[in-house]
Structures are given as structure tokens and as C-alpha cells.
Amino acid sequence: MTDAPSLALRYVVCDACGTVFALPDDPAEPDACARCGARPLRELRGVRGPDAYFAP
């Protein structure tokens, strides 16, 4: 997969419930957990792209 377009996702984790989300890289996206409503979400830095978190 060379030159595969990125979906510009950012990966965040909710430390309250342990849920990891892949969210669009959109500043208007809310920073509250969609599962439990806790704030803030912690961004998993260094993990970018459509499948970076799920692929080795």
C-alpha cells in the first residue's frame, strides 16, 4: 500500500472507561467520550492514519 490516501484520523483514548476511538481530524469534533461522557480524551500521539493503531 504505497501512496494510499490517509483518512486523517486521530486516535484518542478515554482513561475513564478504556475505550479507544478513531476520530476524524476535525477541530469541531467534541472531546468527550461517546461511551461514558467523560472528559477530556487523551490523544495517542504517534498513531496516525486509517489503520496505524490496528496494524503491526
Q: Is there a domain that residue 44 lies in?
A: yes
Q: Is there a domain that residue 35 lies in?
A: yes
As a whole number, mean pLDDT of residues 32-53 equals 78
Instruction: Give me the amino acid identity at 30.
Output: P
Q: Is there a domain that residue 16 lies in?
A: yes
pTM of the predicted structure, to 2 decimals: 0.62
Q: Is there a domain that residue 53 lies in?
A: no
Q: Is there a domain that residue 4 lies in?
A: no
Rounded distance between C-alpha atoms, residue 42 and residue 5, angstroms = 25
Extract the C-alpha cell encoding 45: 500521539
Q: Which domain holds residue 20?
A: 9-48
Rounded distance between C-alpha atoms, residue 31 and residue 27, angstroms = 9
pLDDT above 90 coverage of the chain, percent = 23
Q: Is there a domain that residue 2 lies in?
A: no
Q: How confident is the model at residue 8 (pLDDT cuts 50, 70, 90)?
A: confident
Q: How confident is the model at residue 56 (pLDDT cuts 50, 70, 90)?
A: low
Q: How far is CA 38 from the centre of its chain?
A: 15
Total of domains in the chain:
1
Cα–Cα distances (Å) from 22 to 2, 53, in that order, read 22, 9
